[in-house]
Structure 1
Amino acid sequence: MPTSSQIFCRESSLLAFNRRVLAQAEDVNVPLLERLRFVCIVSSNLDEFFEVRMAYLKREGRNNPSTVFDSGRTPAETITQVAAEARDLIQQQYEILNQKVLPELADTGIHFYRRHNWTPQQHEWIENYFNRELLPLLTPIGLDASHPFPRLLNKSLNFVVELDGKDAFGRESSMAIVQAPRILPRVVKLPEELCGGADGFVFLSSILHEYVYKLFRGMKVKSCHQFRLTRDSDLTVEDDEFNNLTNLRTVIQSELHDRDFGVAVRLEVADNCPNEITQFLLARFDLTENELYRVNGPVNLVRLMAVPDMVERPELKFPSVKQNYPTEFRKVDSLLNVIRQKDVLLHHPYQSFEPVVRFIQEAAHDPDVVAIKMTIYRTGTHSELAQALLIAAQAGKLVTVVVELMARFDEANNVKWARRLEEAGAHVVYGVFGYKVHAKMALVIRREEGSLKMYAHLGTGNYHQGTSRIYTDFGLLTAQRDITRDVNNLFMEITGLGQANKLKKLHQSPFTLHKMLLNKIDREIAHAQAGKPAKIIAKMNSLVEPSLIDALYRASAAGVQIDLIVRGMCALRPQVAGLSENIRVRSIIGRLLEHSRVYYFYHDGAEEVYISSADWMGRNCFRRIEVATPIEDMALKKRVIEESLQLALADNVKAWEMHGDGSYTRIHAADGETVVSLQDSLLQKYDC
């Protein structure tokens, strides 16, 4: 196994990924409102980073303080390191927002007005807005013996107010808390006539700062300071919380309420908040100085994500992607007739996700279809796919849906769909306790000429129509006998009991996928040692699993040429003398989120290619149910290699190269070199 010096800290790698995302906000070639959106994406990513990764480190530090991670650090040492890195990233984020993005937006006529810049007319409108829309909803809590510190929701916007004087009951309270209800917009757009015809916005925090005195009649407001608390939001269900007769959905529903009130892990305050106030808040939430983050601006930039949609300035946004509808399915009455003849590969979002929806919808209405089986990990609030499953169940078809109730931050939505599907008569199961069902697969069983014929869809991405427009993913529609039988066997494993089935084509976690990857790597090592060309290319979101990293190091030492396209976390150290000279790692960060997982092994010229739902992480290999699907049709295999791997390795516009110390360098086209952008090339190829 790799030593600690050979494994890069996964939390540091995740923060490095967010630095690459933030770089998009500085890129003058990115439309200006999209640059603002990238600033917000970093905040959203950091929220999850603190809710999950930092929360995990804090739990480990509390429960297992002597634990040593693969990186060689204890939980406390890791927290100290990544907190400093996160603080530096956040400072850079606000500098880009305040010194570049907001001034450039102002130059184009999009203004964010600070209180000291409001005109008398704006003052009047904003005060009326406060009186009408905010004042009735605000409930100040004065802190005294009969008013304890309120229980604050995770990531809610709050204000601590210093007061002087007595209230109507003669009480003297020097401090109060004002919570901003989540229903309130964090950015308010002003009427154009108050902004000289331009687009003008004010922050909710500015409005509350200006008029908070109205909540404390007869008392003097000495100061008002915004703050935001981030809590541990990882949802866990222990064995002792239920028995074999307990419905997991019921347990999850009861746990969801507590998520908003988990252990505090981060306190955000404005940088002008006095030390005595921050110390008071830190003490209330049992936090340390190391968990305090001062910011130069609003404490929640995620809510600025709404601004681009509030501005009609198409020249400041990315052009909309006009998804290509696959030629195979144009002007045909039945998708199944096409799939019966040949496999069809879909590459989203360049190609529309609609055929996947149509695949299930057609099955729901086809009188000869007797059964539909499908996994749901993330599917969206308004899902045509889920609606089609409801219709099929109500029509009396055998509908089996594996709903992953532990899909992080989608639990409530999945609980809702599980309940509706159960009520419609579908067989709903929640996977296998202890293993998340992350595989993306659907199966349609149709009676044809006296026998049952099966059709399957296997993909790298979720059955979510929203993300299918911004995530890059592959999906395979097939009627291959061996693959469809494998899919059916997998569904029977998940829904029933018994030993794992021996699969002919597919590889699955937690049983065969990890072993397959190690075997394929070892085979490339053998080819290299025999003096034959040997090559591995893998594209994924994250690479942190130590035994796979060790195998790649061994392959590099044997002379195997290895190219890794890892969007996010990468714990492997590339290009290190004596360790990984033959390994290159790059990351593509663009307008679309690179999400597909593709594995390529040269295999002495036979070129084996798999698409998969699994990243190379411990959880995907050992604690999730995942699937890797071979692409064997020569034309489709060529497409995957060219569109996913070769273009990514040729990209000199949105690609970053990783170095052995964990840092990244943006790749630029050399003088005279052809400019290649993976995403732009595919948008052009598919006439999007």
Structure 2
Amino acid sequence: MKLPYVNRELSWLEFNQRVLAEAQRPDLPLLERVKFLAITASNLDEFFQVRVGGLILMRRGGRNRPDPSGLTPIRQIQAIRRRVQRMIADQYSLLSKELLPALEAEGIHLLKVNDLDPTQKDQVAAFFHSSVEPLLTPLAIDAEDEPPHFPALQLTVACKLVDEENDSTRYALVPIPDSLNRRVPVDRAGGGSGFVLIEDLVAAHIGSLFPGEKPTATACFRVTRNGDIAVQEEDAIDLAGEMEDVLAARKIADTVRLELPVPLSRDLGTVIRDACRAGTEEVYRCDGPIGLSSLMELAFADGYDHLRDTDWPPQQSPDISPAESVFEAIARRDVLLHHPYESFEPVLRLIDEASKDPDVVSIKQVLYRTAKNSRVIDSLIRAAENGKSVTVLVELKARFDEARNLDRAEELQRAGVQIVYGVKGLKTHAKICMIVRRESGHLRRYVHLGTGNYNESTARLYTDISLLTCRPEYGADASLFFNAVTGRSKLLRFQRLVPAPTAMKPRLLSLIADEAERARQGEPARIIAKVNSLQDPEIIAALYDASAAGVEVKLNIRGICCLKTGTSKRAKNIEVVSVIDRYLEHARIFYFHQGGDPLIFTSSADWMGRNLDRRVELMVPIEDSRARKRLLKILETFFRDNTQASRILPDGTSERIQPGKGEKAFRAQEDFYRRARRTAKAREHERAMRFDPHLPPDPS
């Protein structure tokens, strides 16, 4: 029997539509709406680079095998195009009809160079000649030569040039460097702030780049190239060198999307399409500024805090005092942190303390994505310089972070850190750090296990879970894990941790089957899971079987959901919600009722084939009773949300959940923040009321 299955790509596009729905909400602060619009555009950029790029490669390679939903690559590309065109229409309608007028009402004016008064034109002209023109590199187009190479995802102005003296016409391209801000400020006599877009400024003054020729038409466009180019690991002698080749290949890869403006002259459009080697099916017309992801620059511009959400500063964990060592807190009991409501600072402090602590012998860590100016990297370098044994697995195959990770790996290596470039054939996505410390003549292992990256920047924007523990079984498993990923030993004999790709999927399938069997025996059976994406056909089939057996299945899935909800026997007991709010939901938490003795896990892995079969991941059982209760509360709270949650419908679309008649509005993320703030204040008050005397050192 065919598995009821929603196409992965179309499900992802419905997720992006839910993000766009946040930008469409008039009750949100204006710049928050601008931010969500920018996020949808940035999401589409990556979607075309990776997902559409991969489908195009499959089509060109003659691979016509349908996916579990029954769609071949060709049909998927066609369906994606139809859906994306509707989404683009929604984006630009929102921008022109709502956001730009609302920005003007707040004194933020998008201006056209041709509409400026003489003083303003002089101002922007001076800026162009002093700060823009020296950075521009025109590229000639010659019909007899190969088209010039120009950057992907970068605004480019095409122009038609006429030499009246020779009565000749030619065309040229002018890429706009990413180092230039999209917005160019313009003084306004009437108050408020004004700006022109950098591409409008370049187009208005493009003639200065071509003396003796007259520009008669200009158009700004942007090309997206295939980013689904993988390193050939089997033949790679120098993985870092091979990765550099992949990065170079992406810059000149095939076009998967060409964004063109409306209106556009036919001849200039033809020239651009030929230069990009783009067919009609790759062309998307934009009725407004191209590259909406750069609106993020405006969303975070200084001076407009009144147009944003009120700040929710991360709170201190009640389990770790800023005045005590993180090692002392962990030695007392397991520490569970819910980011960003609770600060990521204890994790950063742990690594920082380890770098300086004379009793720390070694640090081992996996790095997948890090912040631009990473405190984690600084601490690891300091640890190596202080004589600690430091081993770091830097995943060079973290998509679109490859260049940064190459630089970080070299920086760490120069400091004396032992570097491993991931695992052959797999991405290492697990979030783990192990610190070995000498205490009372013995070695003790402290372990951090997380659902998110060691990135202090995204730790303020993504919701994640951290577990800090020194339980011996977890430390022993952490050692086995690092031995496996650095020394090619097998991921076997773990006492607590459940690794992928060897054990996680079988364990999940077994746990789901156990709940189904209990339901068949008439026992209460329940599964609650929070993941970013659900795509793996075997997991979906197991969930259908559990639902048919009578298991209550509650799924909180932010993004892709290939499981079909509905009232059929297979799915009648399955509820799926998606929460889109100010923080990106990123934590993975799994609950299995297990006859009243529940098992609760956190994980770095989603329920996708790539995570369970092709990545090194970890699933972490939570044994501390307080932490278990807290995680269950977190899971259940999302299903009370009636302001930011949407219900996933059988066709893969969604509908926002509204408060019922007489029901109070409830917002899960707001509830988490209030709880964290209340708990932090209570612990702060408790500490203020307690006197801690200084004691003499232990004579022993």
Provide TM-score, normalisation by structure 2: 0.94
User: Residue 155 of structure 1 is aligned with which of 139, 153, 156?
Assistant: 153
User: CA shift at 1:117, angstroms?
Assistant: 3.2
Partner of 1:284: 275
- 3-state secondary structure, aligned to 1:584: strand
1:674 and 2:664 matched: yes
1:415-470 CA-partner distances (Å, limit 9, x unpaired):
11111111111111122111111000000111112221111000000000000000
Query: Contact 1:543–1:570 at 8 Å: present in 2 too?
Result: yes
1:206 and 2:209 matched: no
User: CA shift at 1:116, angstroms?
Assistant: 4.5
User: CA shift at 1:475, angstroms?
Assistant: 0.3
Question: How do 1:490-569 and structure 2 match up within 5 A?
Answer: 490-569=481-560
Query: Contact 2:491–2:499 at 8 Å: present in 1 too?
Result: no
User: Residue 657 of structure 1 is aligned with which of 647, 651, 656?
Assistant: 647
User: Residue 471 of structure 2 is aligned with which of 458, 471, 480?
Assistant: 480
Partner of 2:247: 256
Partner of 2:118: 120
Query: Contact 1:348–1:474 at 8 Å: present in 2 too?
Result: yes
Looking at structure 1, the residues matched to 154 and 539 of structure 2 have their Cα atoms a distance apart, in angstroms, of 40
**Compared CA separation, residues 622 and 148, structure 1 to 2 (3 A):** closer
Looking at structure 1, the residues matched to 288 and 322 of structure 2 have their Cα atoms a distance apart, in angstroms, of 54
User: CA shift at 1:120, angstroms?
Assistant: 2.6
Partner of 1:181: 177
Looking at structure 1, the residues matched to 162 and 21 of structure 2 have their Cα atoms a distance apart, in angstroms, of 45
Looking at structure 2, the residues matched to 282 and 65 of structure 1 have their Cα atoms a distance apart, in angstroms, of 26
User: CA shift at 1:119, angstroms?
Assistant: 2.4
In the TM superposition, structure 1's runs of 4+ consecutive aligned residues that sit over 6 Å from their partners are none
**Compared CA separation, residues 47 and 420, structure 1 to 2 (3 A):** same
Query: Contact 2:605–2:619 at 8 Å: present in 1 too?
Result: yes
Query: Contact 1:65–1:76 at 8 Å: present in 2 too?
Result: no
User: CA shift at 1:647, angstroms?
Assistant: 1.1
Looking at structure 2, the residues matched to 285 and 161 of structure 1 have their Cα atoms a distance apart, in angstroms, of 15
Question: How do 1:27-38 and structure 2 match up within 5 A?
Answer: 27-38=25-36
- 3-state secondary structure, aligned to 1:230: strand
What is the identity, as a one-letter code, of the residue corresponding to 2:290?
Answer: V
Looking at structure 2, the residues matched to 337 and 183 of structure 1 have their Cα atoms a distance apart, in angstroms, of 46
Query: Contact 1:37–1:308 at 8 Å: present in 2 too?
Result: yes
- 3-state secondary structure, aligned to 2:346: helix
User: CA shift at 1:98, angstroms?
Assistant: 0.8
Looking at structure 1, the residues matched to 618 and 234 of structure 2 have their Cα atoms a distance apart, in angstroms, of 30
1:522-555 CA-partner distances (Å, limit 9, x unpaired):
0000110010111111101110000000001111
Question: How do 1:296-445 and structure 2 match up within 5 A?
Answer: 296-445=287-436
Looking at structure 2, the residues matched to 358 and 139 of structure 1 have their Cα atoms a distance apart, in angstroms, of 46
User: CA shift at 1:232, angstroms?
Assistant: 0.8
Looking at structure 2, the residues matched to 441 and 563 of structure 1 have their Cα atoms a distance apart, in angstroms, of 28
Looking at structure 2, the residues matched to 319 and 554 of structure 1 have their Cα atoms a distance apart, in angstroms, of 45
1:219 and 2:213 matched: yes
Paired-residue identity, %: 38
What is the identity, as a one-letter code, of the residue corresponding to 2:654?
Answer: Y
- 3-state secondary structure, aligned to 1:228: strand
User: Residue 58 of structure 2 is aligned with which of 54, 60, 73?
Assistant: 60
User: CA shift at 1:315, angstroms?
Assistant: 1.3
Provide TM-score, normalisation by structure 1: 0.96
What is the identity, as a one-letter code, of the residue corresponding to 1:520?
Answer: L
Q: Which shows bigger deviation, 548-557 or 138-147?
A: 138-147
- 3-state secondary structure, aligned to 2:639: helix
**Compared CA separation, residues 43 and 209, structure 1 to 2 (3 A):** same
What is the identity, as a one-letter code, of the residue corresponding to 1:291?
Answer: E
Looking at structure 1, the residues matched to 668 and 40 of structure 2 have their Cα atoms a distance apart, in angstroms, of 22
Partner of 1:44: 42
Partner of 2:685: none
- 3-state secondary structure, aligned to 1:177: strand
Looking at structure 1, the residues matched to 529 and 325 of structure 2 have their Cα atoms a distance apart, in angstroms, of 35
Partner of 1:469: 460
Looking at structure 1, the residues matched to 89 and 147 of structure 2 have their Cα atoms a distance apart, in angstroms, of 30
What is the identity, as a one-letter code, of the residue corresponding to 2:442?
Answer: S
What is the identity, as a one-letter code, of the residue corresponding to 1:44?
Answer: S
Query: Contact 1:143–1:175 at 8 Å: present in 2 too?
Result: yes
- 3-state secondary structure, aligned to 1:324: coil
Partner of 2:686: none
User: CA shift at 1:179, angstroms?
Assistant: 1.7
Partner of 1:595: 586
Looking at structure 2, the residues matched to 635 and 521 of structure 1 have their Cα atoms a distance apart, in angstroms, of 24
Looking at structure 2, the residues matched to 583 and 520 of structure 1 have their Cα atoms a distance apart, in angstroms, of 16
User: CA shift at 1:195, angstroms?
Assistant: 4.6
Q: Which shows bigger deviation, 285-294 or 326-335?
A: 326-335
Query: Contact 1:158–1:177 at 8 Å: present in 2 too?
Result: yes
Partner of 1:231: 225
Query: Contact 2:159–2:268 at 8 Å: present in 1 too?
Result: no
What is the identity, as a one-letter code, of the residue corresponding to 1:190?
Answer: V
Looking at structure 2, the residues matched to 140 and 496 of structure 1 have their Cα atoms a distance apart, in angstroms, of 51
1:78-111 CA-partner distances (Å, limit 9, x unpaired):
1001111011101110110111011011111111
- 3-state secondary structure, aligned to 2:575: strand
1:460-518 CA-partner distances (Å, limit 9, x unpaired):
00000000000000000001111111111101011102333211111110011000100
- 3-state secondary structure, aligned to 1:533: coil
Looking at structure 2, the residues matched to 499 and 437 of structure 1 have their Cα atoms a distance apart, in angstroms, of 14
Partner of 1:15: 13
1:156-200 CA-partner distances (Å, limit 9, x unpaired):
111221122257xx5934222222122221211223xx2522021
Looking at structure 2, the residues matched to 401 and 201 of structure 1 have their Cα atoms a distance apart, in angstroms, of 45
Query: Contact 1:141–1:147 at 8 Å: present in 2 too?
Result: no
Q: Which shows bigger deviation, 460-469 or 205-214?
A: 205-214
Looking at structure 2, the residues matched to 424 and 560 of structure 1 have their Cα atoms a distance apart, in angstroms, of 54
User: Residue 614 of structure 1 is aligned with which of 578, 582, 605?
Assistant: 605
User: Residue 186 of structure 2 is aligned with which of 187, 190, 199?
Assistant: 190
Query: How many residues of Structure 1 are paired with residues of Structure 2 in the alignment?
Result: 678
User: CA shift at 1:281, angstroms?
Assistant: 2.7
Q: Which shows bigger deviation, 327-336 or 353-362?
A: 327-336
User: CA shift at 1:252, angstroms?
Assistant: 1.5
Question: Root-mean-square deviation (CA), in Å?
Answer: 1.6
- 3-state secondary structure, aligned to 1:372: strand
Query: Contact 2:533–2:558 at 8 Å: present in 1 too?
Result: yes
**Compared CA separation, residues 424 and 235, structure 1 to 2 (3 A):** farther
User: CA shift at 1:25, angstroms?
Assistant: 0.9
1:99-153 CA-partner distances (Å, limit 9, x unpaired):
1011011111111112443223222212222222222222333333687532011
Query: Contact 1:25–1:101 at 8 Å: present in 2 too?
Result: no
Query: Contact 1:235–1:406 at 8 Å: present in 2 too?
Result: no
Looking at structure 2, the residues matched to 392 and 44 of structure 1 have their Cα atoms a distance apart, in angstroms, of 37
Looking at structure 2, the residues matched to 174 and 253 of structure 1 have their Cα atoms a distance apart, in angstroms, of 36
Looking at structure 1, the residues matched to 614 and 151 of structure 2 have their Cα atoms a distance apart, in angstroms, of 30
Query: Contact 2:334–2:469 at 8 Å: present in 1 too?
Result: yes
Query: Contact 1:60–1:67 at 8 Å: present in 2 too?
Result: no
Query: Contact 1:268–1:294 at 8 Å: present in 2 too?
Result: yes
Looking at structure 1, the residues matched to 425 and 506 of structure 2 have their Cα atoms a distance apart, in angstroms, of 20
Ranges in structure 2 where 5+ consecutive residues have no aligned partner: 679-700
User: CA shift at 1:641, angstroms?
Assistant: 1.2
**Compared CA separation, residues 184 and 420, structure 1 to 2 (3 A):** same
